[in-house]
């Protein structure tokens, strides 16, 4: 959508005196560069007066000449307004920018109208806010900005500790730092990022993009950026302490799903903003597949956009955008609520269940990681070695879980871990136990026993808590396995 000068005048006046000065500087008359074409058109009009005494054929010819001149004149006006519109949009987009890199635009390209797109989305989404200040930078710079935000959300090496825990369980090949990979994935998913510190929306310069699908995601990035600016301080509050993995995924799903829905509804009204050059997700050339992220972590990272869209759509159907706005003050607390939105919408929403233990020290040492993984993580790990139906059945009755991880000494490659799960009843626990036993059997090439030693690991899968609980123990030594069995009893 191209903004006419009248619309831009309203926006600029809202931005204050500085914007008004820019508007005065830009002017509202067509630039002199187009004056030549205008003069030609006017000359044609003056050179072709209509004679009342001429023949009908002569009058018709003169009328044609007059109309040709008017068409050319209007075309000149239209071209002039297009140029002026582009200049005003660029100036508007630069207002209030704090230390932002300058946008390099190719001479033969028309700049994307992110200001206009943002205004359209905010109007449709019913958000009362100014459009985002936007600038194009390299994909690498966008990833750096995203990484800085992720580190603020997970300080004190939380992400590395989480990855060490997953490696101890054998769900990822080795302990890594997942945040740079997550930043690379988000950059490709969104085509940009809103940085709250500089109050700027950074979009990826197409010349640096890892694929055309990245830049075609910019409308999703604009929607996500607007929502992050509007609700980020409410949804993400690091001062309240560490957030469990299950809750973090649920909150990510709210904003990612909201952005995906906003972009989808906008594309229905504006087909030009629909996704272009969309490769199948399984295509090795897809930008997301270029990020060397372990499969389990990739599934967790993609969940907020895939299942979040369905969650946001359900909330929108229940109460339009007002329902989505209210959700930021009452966000989902678990991936189970995202997977089953009717649970979230239930007035008698069940309170979260915590798994309590009398003691969590192993050889007098507290675990360095204490987490809740949630339903989606549960079904994802079961799907690794089970049919989708069996995996879903195994995770269906999950009520709560708790992952504890301790550092292993003696040069062990993987740490000690205990994952306690609790189900609504015995039959649900039976289904999980069967599916998890199948995972262990195939991963370690065993005969299916529930306690064994293989590949330098000491593993056991036990029932507890009145047969409603199942605990998976992965230890680096037989001594640690025995101690954890007593601890989790």
Asked if 255 and 129 sit in the same domain, the reply is yes
Asked if 278 and 425 sit in the same domain, the reply is no
User: What residues contact 20, with CB distance under 8 A and at least 6 apart?
Assistant: 12, 13
Asked if 195 and 329 sit in the same domain, the reply is yes
- In the DSSP assignment, the letter for residue 465 is T
**Per-residue confidence (pLDDT) for residue 39, from 0 to 100:** 45
Span 226-236, mean pLDDT?
Answer: 93
**Per-residue confidence (pLDDT) for residue 14, from 0 to 100:** 42
Reply yes or no on whether the pLDDT at 27 is more than 70: no
Tokens of 113: 């109208």
Asked if 68 and 209 sit in the same domain, the reply is no
In a domain, 355, yes or no: no
**Per-residue confidence (pLDDT) for residue 277, from 0 to 100:** 52
Asked if 271 and 179 sit in the same domain, the reply is yes
Q: Containing domain of residue 274, as a range?
A: 119-345
In a domain, 395, yes or no: yes
Tokens of 286: 């897809």
Span 406-410, mean pLDDT?
Answer: 92
pLDDT band at 210 (very low <50, low <70, confident <90, very high): confident
Sheet arrangement for strand 457-464: 369-371, 398-406, 416-423, 469-475, 457-464, 451-454
Asked if 237 and 338 sit in the same domain, the reply is yes
DSSP run (H or E) holding 8: helix 5-15
pLDDT tens-digit series, residues 134-154: 899 999 999 999 999 999 999
Asked if 299 and 427 sit in the same domain, the reply is no
In a domain, 360, yes or no: no
Span 13-34, mean pLDDT?
Answer: 40
**Per-residue confidence (pLDDT) for residue 60, from 0 to 100:** 76
The residue whose two tokens read 């590949």 is 455
Q: Is 378 left (phi over 0), alpha (psi -120 to 50) or beta?
A: alpha
pLDDT tens-digit series, residues 447-456: 999 999 999 9
Span 347-372, mean pLDDT?
Answer: 94
pLDDT band at 242 (very low <50, low <70, confident <90, very high): confident
SS3 35: helix
In a domain, 108, yes or no: no
- In the DSSP assignment, the letter for residue 239 is G
**Per-residue confidence (pLDDT) for residue 73, from 0 to 100:** 62
Asked if 382 and 322 sit in the same domain, the reply is no
In a domain, 353, yes or no: no
Burial of 389 (0-12, 13-18, 19+ CB in 10 A): exposed
pTM of the model: 0.75
d(CA 230, CA 121): 13
pLDDT tens-digit series, residues 75-118: 666 665 555 555 544 444 443 334 434 434 444 445 555 556 66
**Cβ atoms of 33 and 40 closer than 8 Å:** no
SS3 109: coil
pLDDT band at 261 (very low <50, low <70, confident <90, very high): very high
Reply yes or no on whether the pLDDT at 275 is more than 60: no
**Per-residue confidence (pLDDT) for residue 123, from 0 to 100:** 78
Asked if 208 and 132 sit in the same domain, the reply is yes
In a domain, 364, yes or no: no
Reply yes or no on whether the pLDDT at 25 is more than 60: no
Asked if 139 and 251 sit in the same domain, the reply is yes
Beta bridge partners of 404: 370, 418
Could you tell me which of 8, 239, 288 has the C-alpha nearest to residue 131?
Answer: 8
Side-chain half-sphere CA neighbours of 17 within 13 A: 0
Burial of 336 (0-12, 13-18, 19+ CB in 10 A): buried
Asked if 437 and 386 sit in the same domain, the reply is yes
d(CA 451, CA 231): 48
Looking at the structure of the chain, the number of domains it has is 3
In a domain, 110, yes or no: no
Tokens of 359: 């003691």
Q: What is the CA 167 to chain-centroid distance, rounded?
A: 25
SS3 419: strand
Percent of the chain with pLDDT over 70: 74
Asked if 302 and 398 sit in the same domain, the reply is no
Reply yes or no on whether the pLDDT at 47 is more than 50: no
Among 345, 360, 379, give the residue marking a domain's end. Answer: 345
**Per-residue confidence (pLDDT) for residue 78, from 0 to 100:** 62
Average the pLDDT over each of 43-57, 96-110, 187-201, 397-411 and give the range with the smallest value.
96-110
**Per-residue confidence (pLDDT) for residue 284, from 0 to 100:** 63
**Cβ atoms of 208 and 140 closer than 8 Å:** yes
pLDDT tens-digit series, residues 163-209: 999 999 999 999 999 999 999 999 999 999 999 999 999 999 999 99
In a domain, 104, yes or no: no
User: What residues contact 384, with CB distance under 8 A and at least 6 apart?
Assistant: 171, 295, 296, 439
**Per-residue confidence (pLDDT) for residue 422, from 0 to 100:** 98
**Per-residue confidence (pLDDT) for residue 116, from 0 to 100:** 62
Give the chain's length. Answer: 489
**Per-residue confidence (pLDDT) for residue 240, from 0 to 100:** 59
pLDDT tens-digit series, residues 277-329: 555 555 566 678 789 999 999 999 999 999 999 999 999 999 899 999 999 99
Beta bridge partners of 42: none
Task: For strands 451-454 and 416-423, give the pairing.
Answer: unpaired
Q: What is the CA 182 to chain-centroid distance, rounded?
A: 10
DSSP run (H or E) holding 427: helix 426-444
Q: Give, to the nearest 10 degrees, the angle between helix 56-94 and helix 5-15.
A: 20
Beta bridge partners of 201: 134, 194
**CB atoms inside a 10 Å sphere around CB 87:** 15
Reply yes or no on whether the pLDDT at 41 is more than 80: no
**Per-residue confidence (pLDDT) for residue 97, from 0 to 100:** 39
């Amino acid at each position: 959508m191209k903004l006419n000068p009248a619309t831009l005048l309203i926006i600029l006046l809202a931005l204050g005196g500085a914007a008004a000065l820019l508007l005065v500087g830009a002017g509202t008359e067509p630039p002199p560069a187009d004056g030549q074409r205008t003069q030609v058109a006017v000359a044609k009009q003056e050179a072709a007066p209509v004679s009342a005494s001429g023949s009908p054929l002569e009058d018709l010819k003169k009328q044609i000449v007059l109309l040709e001149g008017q068409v050319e004149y209007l075309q000149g006006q239209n071209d002039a307004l297009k140029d002026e519109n582009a200049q005003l949009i660029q100036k508007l987009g630069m207002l209030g920018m704090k230390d932002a890199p300058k946008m390099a635009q190719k001479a033969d390209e028309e700049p994307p109208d992110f200001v206009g797109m943002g205004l359209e989305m905010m109007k449709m989404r019913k958000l009362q806010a100014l459009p985002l200040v936007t600038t194009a930078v390299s994909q690498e710079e966008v990833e750096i900005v995203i990484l800085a935000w992720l580190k603020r959300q997970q300080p004190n090496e939380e992400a590395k500790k989480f990855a060490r825990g997953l490696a101890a369980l054998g769900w990822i090949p080795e302990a890594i730092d997942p945040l740079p990979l997550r930043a690379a994935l988000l950059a490709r998913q969104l085509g940009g990022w809103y940085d709250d510190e500089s109050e700027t929306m950074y979009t990826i310069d197409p010349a640096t993009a890892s694929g055309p699908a990245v830049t075609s995601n910019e409308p999703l990035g604009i929607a996500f950026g607007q929502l992050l600016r509007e609700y980020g301080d409410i949804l993400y509050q690091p001062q309240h302490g560490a957030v469990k993995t299950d809750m973090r995924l649920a909150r990510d799903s709210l904003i990612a799903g909201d952005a995906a829905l906003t972009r989808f509804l906008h594309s229905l009204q504006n087909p030009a903003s629909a996704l272009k050059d969309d490769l199948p997700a399984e295509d090795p050339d897809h930008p997301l597949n270029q990020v060397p992220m372990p499969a389990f972590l990739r599934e967790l990272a993609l969940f907020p956009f895939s299942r979040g869209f369905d969650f946001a759509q359900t909330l929108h159907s229940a109460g339009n955008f007002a329902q989505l706005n209210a959700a930021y003050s009452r966000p989902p607390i678990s991936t189970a609520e995202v997977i089953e939105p009717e649970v979230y919408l239930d007035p008698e929403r069940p309170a979260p269940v915590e798994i309590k233990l009398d003691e969590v020290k192993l050889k007098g040492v507290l675990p360095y990681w204490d987490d809740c993984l949630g339903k989606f993580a549960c079904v994802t790990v079961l799907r690794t070695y089970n049919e989708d139906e069996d995996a879903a059945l195994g995770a269906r009755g999950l009520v709560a879980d708790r992952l504890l991880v301790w550092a292993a000494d003696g040069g062990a490659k993987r740490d000690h871990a205990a994952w306690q799960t609790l189900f609504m009843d015995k039959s649900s626990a039976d289904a999980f136990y069967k599916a998890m036993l199948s995972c262990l059997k195939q991963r370690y090439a065993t005969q299916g026993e529930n306690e064994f030693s293989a590949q330098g690991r000491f593993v056991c899968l036990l029932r507890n808590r009145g047969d409603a609980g199942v605990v998976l123990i992965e230890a680096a030594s037989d001594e640690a396995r025995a101690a954890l069995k007593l601890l989790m009893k």
